[in-house]
Amino acid sequence: MAWGSCTEAPKPITTAVVDSTTPPYTIQLQEFVNPNLPGLHSYIHAVWKDKIIMIGGRINGMHPDYNFDQTYANTNIYVIDTKNWSDPATWATFSMPHKNILGVNRTQFRSNNAQYFQNGNTLYIVGGLEYANVPTQLKSHTGPVLLELMSTKKTQDGAAPHGPITQPLMTAINMDVLIDAVMNNKTVSPPNVRQAQDSMLAITGGELETIGNTVYLVFGWNFSLAGDAYSHQIRSFNYTDDGTTLSLGPITVCPTCFDGVTDPKSNAGNFRRRDGSMSVFTDPTDGSPALMYYSGVFKNGNTNFNTGVFIHPDRAAELPDSLYWNVYTCQVVPVHSASRKTSYASLLGGMTFKGFTGAPITQPTLLTAANTKTIPSIPITNRFTTVVMPANGRLLQYLLPDSFPSIKTPLILPAVGDSIPAATLPVGSVTFNGAESEMHWTIADNLTQNGVINYDAFIAANPNGGTVAYLHGGIEADQPNVLNFESPGFPLHHSVASKRLFAVKIVPIK
């Protein structure tokens, strides 16, 4: 997008590039304060013209009570009017209840961690977790004990057990009609909203992208009263949508898109992953479109992965190189430079399992086993890294000198249970951000290739750098380690669903 929408220019990095694999840029964030934006994370979103749509997700922080209580479900659909991408502090917010969606199963419109993609004027939603309606008398229990009790507890009419449900649905909704409904208090009904169903779509915490006309549903799990059933797979399918009927083609799994673990409840398998990050990617060896999945959790049922999975249209492979940072869902800026024959992907915050032991840095610095140390509990991180793949096909990861900035307004932190009192963080405090945030892309289409930023063309058009997207929401915490896994309910520190909004800028290293 044009640089003129942001009032503060990026700060150039003047340290020389060390070698040909070192990222030629860093990522900087410029915060805009807009108190009208909702505090959300793990939500569905799309951009249509100058409007941003936000659906579902959660309005709480991380695990303050039972993880998926409907109390914390976002039941509103929001439209953010950017006023043709003018000053983000002036953007206007409109909302309507998800109950204004008529004629279809609307549980996806209040779900969290659904997968989604946009094709023109249509937003497509796949899977997602419907929150449990946890009875008050059961809320003192957590984890497996709570699930066991919920599986036998009937609703007041005796019709069904309480519990979380991962939706086996794909929903299509026309964004122009949805925007009009939200801004003018209307309803949306078929054919402007359409659904298809397949049990293999019942995934939450997975990732989804398209290559050409094919949809790739990558990893994730089917969480329900029956327990944790991980997909262990990369599922692909085509669909047809004539504006009246949404139909699915066969859902297939390529021979290398499965880790061979046939028991979905098994803790084994290199593809037993969820809550990792994924982006479109350009294979630097031949310039072809691909996907890259970065790390994820839970390896062997309790730790994080530290490897990437390279996904091509007809194959997938776990890569041998170690990743050290940003192992949990965060936002990714994918970049390719044809002149350098190198692909990059910058990961913004989220969680890490390593700490940097070197001196403070002023340039991208290669992460290695020698300059990192393991940190227990996978804390939230403010730091950015860039994953690099040169033409030899190996992965490198660089720690960037930039990170999430300190807060511009006081942050009110509500009490967590009976053990953690409410608090207010003053302006200038450091909070920990990025996990489960969302990115609203604004970069011009002619500066991307299959959604990957064309670095050579971008810098030619923006010699000093520029804005490519706006990052919003996510989990915001007052400490890196939010959870205490040894205590009931896991609380250790405050966390909230963030309202923060940032312009995301690529800034070249001069």
Distance CA(413)–CA(65), nearest Å, equals: 15
Q: Give pLDDT tens digits for 436-449.
A: 999 999 998 889 98
Strand 315-318, strand 365-366: pairing:
unpaired
Mean pLDDT of 6-25: 63
pLDDT of residue 29: 98
- Topology annotation, domain 3-508: Neuraminidase (2.120.10)
Residue holding tokens 């709570």?
A: 146
pLDDT of residue 157: 39
Mean pLDDT of 441-458: 93
Q: For residue 306, is it left (φ>0), alpha (ψ between -120 and 50) or beta?
A: alpha
pLDDT of residue 156: 43
Kindly calculate the radius of gyration of the chain based on its CA atoms and give it in whole angstroms.
Answer: 22
Q: How confident is the model at residue 17 (pLDDT cuts 50, 70, 90)?
A: very low
Contact 486, 51 (CB under 8 A): no
pLDDT of residue 510: 81
Q: Give pLDDT tens digits for 159-205.
A: 444 668 899 999 999 999 999 999 999 999 999 999 999 999 999 99
Distance CA(114)–CA(110), nearest Å, equals: 10
Q: How confident is the model at residue 61 (pLDDT cuts 50, 70, 90)?
A: confident
pLDDT of residue 481: 80
pLDDT of residue 151: 58
What is the H or E stretch that residue 77 is in?
strand 76-81
The answer for residues whose C-beta is within 8 angstroms of residue 229's C-beta and 6 or more apart is: 221, 222, 223, 264, 265
pLDDT of residue 415: 82
Query: Is residue 137 predicted with pLDDT exceeding 90?
Result: no
Q: Report the mean per-residue pLDDT for the chain.
A: 89
Mean pLDDT of 245-266: 96
The model scores a pTM over 0.75 = yes
Mean pLDDT of 126-149: 68
Mean pLDDT of 291-309: 95
Distance CA(92)–CA(107), nearest Å, equals: 26
Residue holding tokens 């990222």?
A: 23
Looking at 3-7, 132-136, 157-161, which range is the least confident one? Answer: 3-7
Higher pLDDT, 63 or 509: 509
Q: Give pLDDT tens digits for 27-46.
A: 999 999 999 999 999 999 99
pLDDT of residue 226: 76
Contact 439, 405 (CB under 8 A): no
DSSP string for 59-123? SS-S-SSSTTBGGGB--EEEEEE-TTT--GGG-EEEEEEGGGB-SS--GGGG-BS-EEEEETTEE
**Domain segments of the chain as ranges:** 3-508
Nearest to 255 by CA among 318, 200, 316: 316
What is the H or E stretch that residue 143 is in?
helix 143-152
Query: Is residue 370 predicted with pLDDT exceeding 60?
Result: yes
Query: Is residue 268 predicted with pLDDT exceeding 60?
Result: yes
The partner residues of 239 in beta bridges, in order of sequence, read 248
Contact 213, 315 (CB under 8 A): no
Mean pLDDT of 252-276: 96
Distance CA(402)–CA(82), nearest Å, equals: 27
Query: Is residue 341 predicted with pLDDT exceeding 90?
Result: yes
DSSP string for 387-439? EEE-TT---EEEEEEEEPPPPSS-EEE--BTTTB--EEEPTT---B--TT-EE
Widest CA span in the chain: 69
Q: How confident is the model at residue 145 (pLDDT cuts 50, 70, 90)?
A: low
Q: Give pLDDT tens digits for 494-507.
A: 889 999 999 999 99
pLDDT of residue 396: 97
pLDDT of residue 342: 96
Query: Is residue 253 predicted with pLDDT exceeding 50?
Result: yes
Q: How confident is the model at residue 320 (pLDDT cuts 50, 70, 90)?
A: very high
pLDDT of residue 5: 40
Q: Give pLDDT tens digits for 210-234.
A: 999 999 999 999 988 777 899 999 9
